[in-house]
Amino acid sequence: MVAAAVVVAASLLVDRLIGDPHSRYHPVALLGRFIGWWGVPGRYPPGIERACGALGALLTAALFTAPFLLIQVAAPWYLYILLAPFFLKVCLAWRSLEEHTLAVVQALGAGGIDAARDRVGMVVSRDTAHLEREHVLSAAYESMTENLVDSIISPLFYFGLFGLAGAAVFRATNTMDAMLGYRDERIRIGWFAARADDALNFIPARIAGAILLAYFALLGRGGPAWRALRRDAKKRPGFNGGIPMAIIAGGVGIRLEKPGIYTLGDAEQTLEEGGAGIVRAVRAAVIIFAAIEIAALFLLWSVSYT
C-alpha cells in the first residue's frame, strides 16, 4: 500500500516534468496502431462484426496490460518503485491536456482563427472549419474538462483498486473507445469498447463531480456549479462526460457549446476570461483526488499492520 501511494505521487510528478513524448514508439501510439489494424469497419461480415469487435477489444486489452501486470506481480519491490511511476504515467495525460488547450489559445493569438481551427481539430472529432472564436475555445476547453476523468481520474482510480494492470486495462479500453466508439460506420466494431468505457468511467466521473462541487463550494460558487450539473449534465451525449463539463462550466461561469448539439453553463464571462479558472479547477480536482487516494492507501496499510 505504501509503494502504491508513492507510485501515485511519483507518476503525477513524472507527468508534470516530461509530459507525453511525441514518439511513434510510445506505448499508447503502438496501442493505437494495433487498434487501427484490426478495428476497420466493414472488414468482417456484418453478422459477426459485433463479436469481432468484442474479441478484438478483449485481445487488445490483454496484450497491452501484459507488461504492466508483469511488473506488478514479478518485479522486486525496489524495481517496482523505480519502474511503476513511468508505467502508470503511460496511462495518464495531465500535462498534455493543458498543452493541447494552451496551443489552441496561443494559435488564436498568434496565427488567427484559421490556425486555431486547425489546432483544435487535432483534439476534437467535430468539423472545426467554420467555428467562430468562442466555439474554437469551447471545443478546446470541452476536451480538457471531459478528459479530466478519462485521462487522469479514472486511471488513478483503477490503479488504486487493481494496481498497474487496472490502469492499463482502462487506458486500452478508453483508447479503443476514442478510436472506434462512434455512431457511424464504426458502430458495430466499436460497440463493446464504447459500452465498456461507459461502465469503467461511471464511478470515477461521479467522484470527480463530487470533488469539483466541493472545490467550487469553497470558492463560493457551489450554487452555480450545482445548478449547471442538474440542468446541463445530461445534455451532452453519454453517461459521464457531461458531469465534469457542466460543473466546471457553472462553477467558473462560462458557456461550453457544441453548436447544434448542446450548451452547458451560462456565459457570465467569455472563455478567454474564464480559461484560467477552468485550468485551475482541473488541477484542483487532480490534486485533491490524488491526495485522497494517497491518504486512503496509507490508511489501508496502517490498518493492515495493526
For 282-296, what is the mean pLDDT? 97
Rounded to an integer, what distance in angstroms lies between the CA atom of residue 228 and that of residue 233?
7
Rounded to an integer, what distance in angstroms lies between the CA atom of residue 112 and that of residue 145?
24
Residue 276's pLDDT is: 96
pLDDT digits (tens, 9 = 90+) for 219-250: 999 999 999 999 999 999 888 999 999 999 99
Residue 304's pLDDT is: 73
Higher pLDDT, 128 or 232: 232
Q: Say if residue 302's pLDDT is above 90.
A: no
Cβ 219 vs Cβ 251: under 8 Å: yes
Element of type H or E holding 36: helix 27-38
**What angle in degrees, to the nearest 10, is found between the helix axes of 94-110 and 2-18?**
20
Q: Say if residue 306's pLDDT is above 70.
A: no
Provide the pLDDT confidence category of residue 218 given band limits of 50, 70 and 90: very high
> In this structure, what DSSP letter does residue 150 have?
I
Q: Say if residue 84's pLDDT is above 70.
A: yes
pLDDT, the chain, mean: 94
Q: Say if residue 110's pLDDT is above 70.
A: yes
Going by C-alpha positions, the residue among 122, 119, 101, 125 that lies closest to residue 275 is 101
Q: What is the pTM of this model?
A: 0.95
Neighbours of 48 (CB within 10 A): 11
Q: Say if residue 281's pLDDT is above 70.
A: yes
Neighbours of 103 (CB within 10 A): 17
Q: Say if residue 163's pLDDT is above 90.
A: yes
For 160-165, what is the mean pLDDT? 97
Largest CA distance in the chain: 63
Q: Say if residue 34's pLDDT is above 80.
A: yes
Going by C-alpha positions, the residue among 43, 147, 55 that lies closest to residue 96 is 147
Residue 199's pLDDT is: 97
Residue 37's pLDDT is: 95
Higher pLDDT, 126 or 55: 55
CA dihedral 286, 290, 293, 299 (to 10 degrees): -150
